[in-house]
Amino acid sequence: MKSYKEYLEQSGEIGYIQSIVHSIVYVSGLPKARPREVVIAEGGQVGIIQSLLPDEVEVLMLETGGLRNNLGITRTGQYFEIGVSEQTLGRIVNPFGDPIDGSGAIGGVKETRSVDPGAPPLHARVKIARPMETGVQIVDLLVPLGYGQRELVIGDRKTGKTIFLLQTMATQAKKGVVCVYVSIGKRQSDVKAVEAYLRARGGDVFKNCCLVVAAASDPASMVYLAPFSGFSIAEYFRDSGRDVLIVFDDLTNHAKFYRELSLLSKRTPGRSSYPGDIFNLHASMLERAGQIKTDKGKVVSITALPVAESLEGDITGYIQTNLMSITDGHVFFDIERFKSGARPAVNHALSVSRVGNQTRQLLEKELAQKVREDLSRYEKDKEIARFGVDLPEATRAEIDLGEKIELVLNQDTETLVPAALSLGLLGLLLGGFWKEKKAEQVKVDLIKLTQKYQSGSLKDLEEKLAKVAKIDDLILLMKSYSEKVEASLHE
């Protein structure tokens, strides 16, 4: 970026700050100013024009240090852009695209990208048809995702939302997908935890990830800018021909910071004091995700996973329902399931994926339907059992099956379960492999089988499962496979 003097000579216009309200300044003397144009102050501080008033220009300053009344400001004639290169991967950057991880400058051939270029046109969009694995069984089976989907992740604080997102990023980064994590107004300790998790998954994971961080201690204008900058980085890698996964943690925080800026600029508040354009702001941003066909004919995607925080399990809040109507479904992390010990605490009955099912094979659809029905009966039977009545044998069998399905679907934060292993485990369960075993033994067996699969001992399972088309065939296959499984558990 040029200096203040160079831009002043270029534009021939100089304005002066008349008043300062936190990150917002009011400037007189810029007659040709345009909305969204970048301005620069004498001290080098950069701002973006938010609105044009009768006698003044309202400017959102991205740097607030050294601002004072009557400080000179000039136009740049440009819209806000950030620099991106291939070497942005494996780094932690701020919303300007500058590194903040202490590892030096970002090298490579840099390309500048507008932070608000608009969504891809309709004619470039392609139907979502490719399944995207998260490595989390309950989501991959019951709330499936596809490349290019926008899926809201919603739940109370500390119910496992971020861990689920990191598991998804680790799964996709191992496949070579670019993963962009946008931290919006989080504490520095939270960002360090995210970095540590991704680095612990191995170099091939973190080298495919980029963290865009606007901390809670940064100016509200920086936090407001973070998701737009993150999307610009994602679009750079999408346009280079790579699939991208972008995570926004979280947009309820973003809405709060935008509300703060709007109230400071004296805009008319609406519901819950949020500005009237908050829906349009998030909708136009998330519309930039999707699966598109490039000019070269290649199909690439940006998959967006925005996060919304609920309060005491209430998902009917203003921002939460806004985001639900914008996205293609939601994964709900239930505080009650979390307290009961379920990990991950996903409530499959209240979660939905509107476009994910069109990426599934018949076997996966049938298995998901079967598991949903079994879990539904299990929940109803548990309610009856609470009254202490004598239960029929059939009801006790349904409760036993439901408990074991939940054991299979539960997983710790370190283990990523491939789709083939998940199908195999559920096939074993439905085929009666664990029918006579207690829950404690099932837990031990599941850990051993996962380790065996990861070591390559059961790799032939993938080839066999690839030939299965229906759930009945899956159960028959796993029954015939059960002797080998039992033998492997005692090796």
* pLDDT tens column, 13-35: 999 999 999 889 999 999 999 99
174 pLDDT more than 80: yes
SS3 238: helix
Q: How far apart are CA 159 and CA 157, in angstroms?
A: 6
Query: How is domain 4-78 classified at the architecture level of CATH?
Result: Beta Barrel (2.40)
Prediction pTM value: 0.94
Q: Is it true that domain 83-359 has CATH number 3.40.50.300?
A: yes
Q: How far apart are CA 13 and CA 294, in angstroms?
A: 41
Please state the rounded mean pLDDT for residues 45-62.
93
The pLDDT-based confidence of 64 (bands split at 50, 70, 90) is confident
* Per-residue pLDDT tens over the stretch 224-273: 999 999 999 999 999 999 999 999 999 999 999 999 999 999 889 999 99
196 pLDDT more than 90: yes
- Do you find a cis peptide bond into 400, omega within 30 degrees of 0? no
CATH superfamily of 363-489: ATP synthase alpha/beta chain, C-terminal domain (1.20.150.20)
The pLDDT-based confidence of 99 (bands split at 50, 70, 90) is very high
Residues 210 and 195 sit within 8 Å (Cβ to Cβ): no
CA 192, 197, 198, 200: dihedral to nearest 10 degrees? 120
491 pLDDT more than 80: no
Helices (H), 38-144: 137-142
> Do the first three CATH levels of 4-78 and 83-359 match, i.e. the same topology?
no
**How many helices (DSSP H) and strands (DSSP E) are in the chain?**
16, 19
Q: How far apart are CA 423 and CA 414, in angstroms?
A: 20
> Helices 220-239 and 251-264 meet at what angle, rounded to 10?
130
Cross-strand bridge partners of residue 308: 154
Q: Which residue has the tokens 């991704």?
A: 198
Can 201 be counted among the known catalytic residues?
Answer: no
Q: Looking at 125, 354, 372, 377, which residue is catalytic? A: 354
- Do you find a cis peptide bond into 306, omega within 30 degrees of 0? no
Lowest mean pLDDT among 87-96, 291-300, 456-465: 456-465
CA 70, 76, 78, 79: dihedral to nearest 10 degrees? -20
67 pLDDT more than 80: yes
203 pLDDT more than 90: no
* Per-residue pLDDT tens over the stretch 394-413: 999 999 999 999 999 999 98
Which one has a higher pLDDT value, 333 or 464?
333
* Per-residue pLDDT tens over the stretch 336-367: 999 999 999 999 999 999 999 999 999 999 99
Q: According to the model, what pLDDT value does residue 108 have?
A: 84
Q: According to the model, what pLDDT value does residue 192 have?
A: 95
List the chain domain ranges. Answer: 4-78, 83-359, 363-489
Helices (H), 125-202: 137-142, 161-174, 188-200
